[in-house]
Chains A and B, each alone.
Chain A
Amino acid sequence: MLHQVLQALETASGPVSLDDLSRQLGVDRGVLEDMIAFWVRKGRLQTGAGGACGKGCGSCGPRAEACVFKAGGPQTITLVERERR
């Protein structure tokens, strides 16, 4: 079952939402989140947010809210490079 998560990502033809993936694999979303968390701990998947500010720029304030879309960006889960190869 765990490997199905990796396979689904390897064979997907575009971005997939977490809900769609849970329907595709026939598991509850909560279970899928746990499985993804396991692979993240194992270093096979990585999570990341849409924005990555953290650097002082002309338009940004000291807090993340100052970065437009930083707060509204979705969380992404990707295969790590070695997994894709």
Chain B
Amino acid sequence: MTAVTLASPGAAVRYAPPIETELERLVAALGAIPALAERYPLRWLAVQLLEGDEHLLAEAEGLGGPAVTAALAASRERLAPHYGEDLDVALVDQRYRFVHTLARQALTRPAAPPLTLSDRIDRVVTHRWLGIPIFLALMWVVFKLTTDVAAPFVDWVDATLSGPVSGWATALLGAAGLGGSWLESLLVDGVIAGVGGVLVFVPVLLALYFALALLEDSGYMARAAFVMDRLMHALGLHGKSFLPMVVGFGCSVPAIYATRTLDSRRDRILTGLLVPFMSCSARLPVYVLIAAIFFPAQAGLVIFGLYLTGIVVAIVIGMLLRRTLFRNQPPAPFVLELPPYRLPTPRGVWRQMWERTAAFLRKATTIILATSIVVWLLLALPVRGGGRFADTPVEQSAFAALSGAVAPVFAPLGFGGWETSGALLTGFVAKEVVVSTLGQTYAVAELEEAAEAAPTNFGEDLLGIAGGLVSATGDALQVLPGVIGITLETPEEETALEGLAAAVRAGFEASSGGHGALAALAFLVFVLLYTPCMTAVAAARHEFGSRWMWVSIVGQFVVAWLAALLVFQGGRLLGW
């Protein structure tokens, strides 16, 4: 933009004739009051008073008395037939017009404004057709990074918790004379198997939060919302719904509260019903565990597919609801302020990773710990056979009896075992609890194997932990290029599953009549689509009331059940 001439060096703002007339009258009236005339430029004061500057009016009234109020009221009354209540809008609008006209006469603009770097990037990433494939490709990289790079660290944390940490706890209790007691069972089978089973996935979450922090801090996530908004709008949904739904990728609870950004209550309820279908980060540990057991070579693809399924289900259900319960809701267009692209800073990325992981750790030491203890108590309580408290086969425990009672509901879906049914029941508290409960119910065999391992001393344990970390770092660096399709590692032969993984696999095979992988996929789809957690339910009740909360719970259960049925029975019919 180049300044060439100033068209009217002495140009003054001229308002429409009725306003100019009143300004002249007001200037005359105000000028008759010396205290005002000495203190203010009178035309400016008159404009401000007509615009409704209350602070200035109070000052003017203080100096000029009731004459100011009377003159202003008379002017406003005469202008009311022309402008109604929008006199201030007319004044501001006429100033904008004046400046715009002046600028147009004084400035020469290039025919096509120069594109900034952000503009150039936006032309590609928010492109009508390229935008969504780019978004999906980036999400794919995020999940590859999350699963492949974090996997060696997951194994390291798992080996550390189930090996040395469990060993130290047992040794400490043994030294205190509590070896073999119920307290040892609580600590090892309850706390370490339960909470530890969830903590194993801290590296996965760190990797996820790292990738998301890069996308957020660079400014891309705002573009992703823009691109998806456009898609949803095209499908007849309220485009603005996608903002809470994107938040739902992190956690359903803030996503439900984020529906407040929508204007109408019906839009808020509709979006609140859809948000839980978006796969929150709490479900990720379940995906990683099951995908690593049943689909080790395609874990990233399976997880990516689940996230995509969540979006598709949300859109389909949204379209159905929009055409039935929520008809006659005109979509409301809106403006998005897209921030400029920035280079993410290591400090900013680390702060987000830490805040989110710390929140997960807080959850592990509160909700998950409490649920693990309750599950352990129910597992320790015999209701059949001749076992005693904390010394009973898990199949004869109260937990097995309770879970077994609901297991027939899941039998047509291929995962009607009491262990998986129990995990889905406790998963209502929080999705990570599915993993901790599976860890607890299947932990026996693994612990027996650990007990058979050769005893080590504290120093050897520490060396083993450090060595494991170095080895995991090396493995992660080796798989890193694989995220973008370059394979450096030599392909390993598929190793036999051990401990928890073998027990989970055997459980699914048994409950599905030999279609374990299909049942596992159906289980993942069910976990994706049923109620996220009790906190999300409380948020839905708080925002939309009890009736819609129950619609949400029952609706999600029905959708999850039907989708899992479709996967399992459909897969069987297709001969998978």
Contact = CB atoms under 8 A, between A and B. Distances in A.
Interface of A: 1-3, 9-19, 21, 23, 27, 31, 35-36, 38, 42, 48-55, 57-61, 63, 65-81, 84
Contact of A50 (B96, B258, B351, B359): B258
Contacts of A52: 254, 257-258, 260-261
A58 B336 contact: no
A61 B253 CA distance: 12
Residue from A50, A51, A59, A76 with most neighbouring chain B CB atoms (10 Å): A59
A72 B239 contact: no
A71 B352 contact: yes
B334 interface: yes
Interface of B: 88-89, 92-93, 96-97, 99-100, 113, 119, 122, 126, 209, 212, 215-217, 219-222, 225-226, 229-230, 233-234, 239-240, 243-244, 246-247, 249-251, 253-255, 257-258, 260-261, 263-264, 280-282, 330, 332-339, 351-352, 355-356, 358-360, 362-363, 367, 430, 533, 535-536, 539, 542
Contacts of B234: 14
Given A2-B92, A68-B212, A14 B333 contact: yes
Contact of A68 (B250, B330, B351): B250
15 contacts: A14-B239, A19-B338, A50-B225, A50-B244, A54-B257, A57-B535, A59-B281, A59-B356, A59-B359, A73-B247, A74-B338, A76-B243, A78-B240, A78-B335, A81-B264
Contacts of B335: 9, 15-18, 21, 36, 76-78
Given A55-B257, A76-B336, 17 more contacts: A1-B96, A17-B338, A18-B335, A42-B89, A50-B222, A50-B258, A51-B258, A54-B257, A55-B539, A59-B251, A61-B355, A67-B250, A67-B251, A68-B249, A74-B339, A75-B337, A78-B263
B247 A69 contact: yes
Contacts of B352: 65, 71
A84 B356 CA distance: 38
A50 B355 contact: no
Interface of B is mostly: helix
9 interchain residue pairs of minimum CB distance:
A68-B250, A72-B216, A57-B253, A72-B221, A12-B333, A74-B222, A59-B251, A61-B359, A53-B254
Nearest to A11: B333
A60 B257 CA distance: 12
B330 to A, nearest CB: 8
A1 B482 CA distance: 54
Contacts, number: 209
A11 B334 CA distance: 10
A53 B257 contact: yes
A17 B362 contact: no
A76 B264 contact: no
A3 B93 contact: yes
A78 B332 contact: yes
A1 B247 contact: no
Given A15-B239, A69-B212, A51 B254 contact: yes
Contacts of B96: 1-2, 31, 35
Contacts of B92: 2, 38
Q: Report which residue of A31, A52, A72 has the largest number of chain B beta carbons within 10 angstroms of its beta carbon.
A: A72
Contact of B334 (A15, A27, A55): A15
